[in-house]
Structure 1
Amino acid sequence: MPTLEELRIRLDDVDEQMVRLFEERMSICEEVGEYKVKNGRKVLDRQRERDKLQEVAGKVSTDFNKKAVQELYDQLMSMSRKLQYQQLVKAGALGRLPFIGVSSLDDKNARIVFPGTEGAYSQAATKNYFGEDCNNFYVRTFRDAMEAIEEGAADFAVLPIENSTAGSVDEMYDLLVEFENYIVGETIIPIVNTLAGLPGTELSDIQRVYSKGVALMQASRFLDEHGDWQQISVANTAIAAKKVLDEQDKTQAAVCSAYAAKVHGLAVLADNINDDQGNSTRFIVATNQKIFLKDAKKISICFELPHESGSLYHLLSHFIYNDLNMTRIESRPVEGKNWEYRFFIDFEGNLADPAVKNAIRGLREESINLKILGNY
């Protein structure tokens, strides 16, 4: 029986041959890429790849090796595609990327819309991004805000997309797919909720507490200490404050910001009631123009996947091969398609970067319905 050292020497010899053949294979793939560039052929040929995987599986002896050789060739063909995508990008065949780079947003006389009412956190985010004196107005819902910029009633919309405690705002992801609006900026603000009521209200007077469902959840420990309080969800924290003011009922209170309480003439009955003292919300700035700031550093995209083993893995490998740092991935059900999902990804980069262009070229060809949501 050979020793371990002898077996390793034999493996080294085989590996040397494999590396040499690998380089020869990639050289031929490069010639294939040159042909495709010259003749306008697509890089991905799904049927040929399926046929190749079946062919190589038929050339090995055991079930384990059939699976293994298919995995090996799946990777080899994936590497070949990435090489050919690079060739296409170098040749100027970038695919459709109709985004225009701008030095700054034209927001001097812009109208900015936010969801909720006066005193909403969305208004605070609006002023944080555009300045205290910006021309802003509110609408009732996220959808109303997206419609306002799509129709031109507003130039920009400021909308919540993620909370550090509650996670993603699912509705916003769905609306970004539905509307032809694009992210051009973001801002993060701390969420410090209070319990507010009519002046003169005591905690013992309260029977019902109103707020956005997420805000009620964020203050669940404080609210659960008062188990006899009925918790009622409304569209927005500031709307909750306005409701308490309008109905002039001391048995009602709102979970809202101190700013919303001040705007609506309410008294702060308990301050900083969040479970998580470091709670914050990320807001996006959206517009109906396909633009991006030339110094933008983050890109958001979404896509669907073919129902094939390893399809998500292959899509994500485009970030690895192009040295792009993926910072977030979310999935949402595809409307009308049971058990099918759309993936939302954030990654670092700028649409003008060659590596980004190369990755998006590959992602576009290998996914279904790729959409660039914005570069900001």
Structure 2
Amino acid sequence: MATLEELRGQLDVVDDQIVKLYEERMKICEQVGEYKVEAGRKVFDRVREKEKLQNVASKVSSDFDKKGIQELYQQLMSMSRKLQYQQLVKAGALGRLPFIEIDSLGVEKARVVFQGMEGAYGQAAMKTYFGEDCNSYSVRTFRDAMEAIEEGAADYAVLPIENSTAGAVNEVYDLLVEFENYIVGEVIIPITHTLAGLPGAQLSELKRVYSKAEALMQTTRFLEEHSDWQQISVANTAIAAKKILDDQDRTQAAVCSAYAAKVYGLEVLEDNINDESGNCTRFIIVTNQKVFLKGAKKISICFEVPHESGSLYHLLSHFIYNDLNMSKIESRPIEGRSWEYRFFVDFEGNLEEPGVKNALRGLREESRSLKILGNY
């Protein structure tokens, strides 16, 4: 029987042959790519690749080898496609991306909309990004904000997209798909909750606490220390603060920001009641124009994948191959198609970079649909 070293030597000989054959295969693939560029043919031929996988599987005997050879050839064909996408991009066949690079957003004269009311965290995010004196107004829902910029009633909307403890704001993700509005900026603000009541109110008097559901969840430990208090969910923290003012009931309090408490003349009964000290929310700046700032460094996209094994894996490989750092991925169910999902991905890059163009070309051809949500 051969020794381990001898067996490894035999593997090295076979591997050297595989490397030479791989290079030979890729040279032929390069010629195929040149033909497709000349003829205007698509790179990805799903039927052809399926037939190829069935063919190579038929040439091996065991079930284990059938799966192995198909996985190997899936990778080989994936590498071939990536090479051909590069050729198409170099030849200008990507097509002009419908996004225009601009030097600034022109925020000085912009009209901005945020969801909520005076004192909401959305207002704080808006002032952080656009300045204290920006021309702004509020609306009741996230949908109202998206409709406002789509209709031109506002130039920009400020919407929460995720919280560091509560996670994604699913409704906003869904609205980004539904509306032809695009992300042009982001701002992250700390979320520091307080318990606010009428001036002179005491903790011992309280019976009901109002706030947004997420804010109640983010202050669970503090609220559980007062288990006799009834927790009541409202649309947002500013509405909760205003309710305390309007009702003039000393047995009621709101979980809200110190700013909201000040706006509505409330007294902070307990400060900084967050479960986690690092709680923060990322807000996106959205407009109805397909523009991006010069020097933008993050891209958000969404895509749908075929409902079959390995489809997401192969699509994500485009980020790896083009050296793009993917910073976030979320999934949302597709309406009307049970157990099928749309994926939202954030990654580092700029729409003018070759690697980004290569990745987008591959994603566009191999996904069921692709939408660029913004470069910011």
TM-score between the two structures when normalised by the length of structure 1: 0.99
Q: Which residue of 2 aligns with 1:234?
A: 234
SS across alignment from 1:254: strand
Rate the CA distance shift 1:298–1:359 in 2: closer, same or farther, 3 A. same
Q: Which residue of 1 aligns with 2:308?
A: 308
Q: Which residue of 2 aligns with 1:191?
A: 191
For each residue in 1:17-41, what CA deviation from the matched residue of structure 2 results, as whole angstroms up to 9, or x when unmatched?
A: 1111110100000000011111110
Q: Distance in 1 between matches of 2:166 and 2:95?
A: 37
- How big is the shift at 1:95? 3.5
Matched, 1:117 2:133: no
Matched, 1:5 2:5: yes
Q: Which residue of 1 aligns with 2:328?
A: 328
Q: Distance in 1 between matches of 2:122 and 2:307?
A: 39
Aligned pairs, number = 376
SS across alignment from 1:360: helix
For each residue in 1:285-326, what CA deviation from the matched residue of structure 2 results, as whole angstroms up to 9, or x when unmatched?
A: 000000001110000000110012111110000001100000
Q: Which residue of 2 aligns with 1:53?
A: 53
Q: Which residue of 2 aligns with 1:256?
A: 256
Which amino acid letter does the alignment assign opposite residue 208 of structure 2?
R
Matched, 1:215 2:215: yes
Which amino acid letter does the alignment assign opposite residue 76 of structure 2?
L
Q: Which residue of 2 aligns with 1:279?
A: 279
SS across alignment from 1:165: coil
Matched, 1:15 2:52: no
Which amino acid letter does the alignment assign opposite residue 234 of structure 1?
V
Whether the aligned pair in 2 keeps the contact of 1:95 and 1:361 (CA below 8 Å) is no
Which amino acid letter does the alignment assign opposite residue 289 of structure 1?
Q
Q: Which residue of 2 aligns with 1:176?
A: 176
Q: Which residue of 2 aligns with 1:341?
A: 341
Q: Distance in 1 between matches of 2:7 and 2:236?
A: 69
SS across alignment from 1:231: strand
Q: Distance in 1 between matches of 2:177 and 2:68?
A: 38
Q: Which residue of 2 aligns with 1:298?
A: 298
Q: Which residue of 1 aligns with 2:73?
A: 73
- How big is the shift at 1:181? 0.5
SS across alignment from 1:60: coil
Q: Distance in 1 between matches of 2:69 and 2:33?
A: 24
Q: Which residue of 2 aligns with 1:64?
A: 64
Can you give the 5+ residue segments of structure 1 that lack an aligned partner in the other structure? none
| Aligned-pair Cα RMSD in Å | 0.8
Q: Distance in 1 between matches of 2:359 and 2:300?
A: 13
Which amino acid letter does the alignment assign opposite residue 27 of structure 2?
S
Matched, 1:29 2:29: yes
Q: Distance in 2 between matches of 1:196 and 1:2?
A: 79
Q: Distance in 2 between matches of 1:268 and 1:177?
A: 40
Q: Distance in 1 between matches of 2:72 and 2:204?
A: 69
Matched, 1:350 2:350: yes
For each residue in 1:169-199, what CA deviation from the matched residue of structure 2 results, as whole angstroms up to 9, or x when unmatched?
A: 1111111111111000000111010011111
Q: Distance in 2 between matches of 1:169 and 1:259?
A: 23
Q: Which residue of 1 aligns with 2:204?
A: 204
Q: Distance in 2 between matches of 1:49 and 1:334?
A: 27
TM-score between the two structures when normalised by the length of structure 2: 0.99
SS across alignment from 1:303: strand
Can you give the 5+ residue segments of structure 2 that lack an aligned partner in the other structure? none
Q: Which residue of 1 aligns with 2:268?
A: 268
For each residue in 1:48-91, what CA deviation from the matched residue of structure 2 results, as whole angstroms up to 9, or x when unmatched?
A: 10000000001011111111000000100000000000000000
Q: Distance in 1 between matches of 2:269 and 2:95?
A: 57
For each residue in 1:109-151, what CA deviation from the matched residue of structure 2 results, as whole angstroms up to 9, or x when unmatched?
A: 1100000000111000000001111111111111111111111
- How big is the shift at 1:96? 5.4
Q: Which residue of 2 aligns with 1:157?
A: 157
Q: Distance in 2 between matches of 1:4 and 1:50?
A: 38
Q: Distance in 1 between matches of 2:334 and 2:8?
A: 50
Q: Sequence identity, in percent? A: 78
Q: Distance in 1 between matches of 2:4 and 2:267?
A: 79
Q: Which residue of 2 aligns with 1:369?
A: 369
Matched, 1:101 2:101: yes
